[in-house]
Amino acid sequence: MFSGTGLFPAMRSSHPAGRVTVLVILMFLTSLAGLAGTLHADQENPEAKELQLKAQKAFTDRHYAEAAAIDEKIAQKYPGTLERRFAVQMLGSIYEDNLVNIGKAITWDREYLKKYANPRQVSYYTEKIAKLEKLQVQEDSFRIYKRIRFASKGDAIMVQEFEVLLKEHPDFLLKNDVERELAYAYARLDKRKESFQAIQNIARNNPKEVSKLDRALANDNERYWKMQQRFSWIAWSIVALLWGLALSMKPWKHLSRATVRMFLILSLVWVLIIASSLPTFYGIDTGGDRIILKDSQLFLMAGLNLSTLLWIFLMSRGSYWLSRPRALRYLSPLLTIVMTVSVLYLFVVYQPNGPEMTDVFATKYKYLKLKYL
């Protein structure tokens, strides 16, 4: 059968290289047969599939004890099925994240690693098991951490509870994980300083655990924080100084009915301009935008512009300018620009996620300019 020019002509050869070739081919075919047997062994089972669906529904409904009981039943009664593989993997996750029993989590993770893990999963499960073994001495702290993380009570409550956890358990092995959760939760709450400090805490504990994403978040938060708490004071100082300058010149002494009438007319014109722009405002496509300007923010900005218009009327009628018309002509445009920019800056930085508006404004402005102008 194998003679001559048959399937393995090298079999008859007495040359060592021929024998090695045959041996390699046989080993390859044997491994393929073993793999085929394994794939054939892990088949779907209708009864196990029905139980798997029940376990999935229980897990989705947050009935974790019920889901674990069903998955354990699958693991015990249906060896060699695809459903058992899924059940073993789910048991490791449930006992780690939801029911929090580190001993059982290690048992099922080790079972998955031993029987089902593919080469890409081996290192992940090996590290996971080693990490859980270290956490066994802090199972109470670990249980609190998981409860907070999966409670879905909102960022504000999660932040409070995580801060208490760090205060009561300063030696918690997952302290950096808690700090990372705090950093991103504070960022979502628009508390930039606290978010920045949480990333800094990770860097102090172990700089190697600060990822590129963490570093980018910290850089943005530091910039936003400075915009809100440092540079905003400069803007407030400029606004206060310019209002003080206008009022110090006692402009009310030089107001007339015509001046008041002009101010009221311009204010009405401004309100009409805002009203006429509302259809365009509501027609702007905001799909995919990270920051969306709300109605209340638009009206607030319009009101701030009216206050700037009032300041212009008062400042331009100060006593100081009566004998200095040329100075008024040259300085009033510059002072008006400074006041307008300062007020606009304060409007932006005090909005939710306001500093981020400065990052997306240029791109959005170009888009709107091309579309509407």
Tell me the β-bridge partners of 302: none
Q: Tens-of-pLDDT digits for all 373 residues of the chain?
A: 444 444 434 444 444 444 434 443 444 444 444 434 444 446 789 999 999 999 999 999 999 999 999 999 999 999 999 999 999 999 999 999 999 999 999 999 999 999 999 999 999 999 999 999 999 999 999 999 999 999 989 999 999 999 999 999 999 999 999 999 999 999 999 898 999 999 999 999 889 999 999 998 898 888 888 887 778 899 999 999 999 999 999 998 888 888 889 999 999 998 898 888 888 777 776 666 666 677 788 888 888 889 999 999 999 888 888 888 889 888 999 999 999 999 988 888 887 777 777 767 767 677 667 766 6
pTM metric for this prediction: 0.66
How many CA atoms are closer than 13 Å to the CA of 144, on its beta-carbon side? Answer: 18
Task: For the beta carbon of residue 54, count every other beta carbon within 10 angstroms.
Answer: 16
Cβ neighbours for 108, distance < 8 A, ≥ 6 positions apart: 88, 89, 91, 92, 95
Give CA–CA dist 235/256, Å, rounded.
31
Instruction: Take residue 95 and report the two structure tokens written for it.
Output: 């006992």
CATH number (1.10.3470, 2.60.40, 1.25.40, 1.10.150) of 46-140 reads: 1.25.40
Cβ atoms of 237 and 222 within 8 Å: the answer is: no
Where are the CATH 1.25.40 domain residues in the chain?
Answer: 46-140
* Secondary structure of the chain as H, E, C letters: CCCCCCCCHHHHCCCHHHHHHHHHHHHHHHHHHHHHHHHHHCECCHHHHHHHHHHHHHHHCCCHHHHHHHHHHHHHHCCCEHHHHHHHHHHHHHHHHCCCCHHHHHHHHHHHHHHCCCHHHHHHHHHHHHHHHHHHHHHHHHHHHHHHHCCCCCHHHHHHHHHHHHHHCCCCCCHHHHHHHHHHHHHHCCCHHHHHHHHHHHHHHCHHHCCHHHHHHHHHHHHHHHHHHHHHHHHHHHHHHHHHHHHHCCHHHHCCHHHHHHHHHHHHHHHHHHHHHHHHHHHCCCCCCCCCCCHHHHHHHHHHHHHHHHHHHHHHCCHHHCCCHHHHHHHHHHHHHHHHHHHHHHHHHCCCCHHHHHHHHHHHHHHHHHHHC
CA distance 159 to 188: 11
Give the C-alpha separation, 197 to 189, whole Å: 14
Query: In terms of Cα–Cα distance, which of 207, 224, 214 is closest to 183?
Result: 214
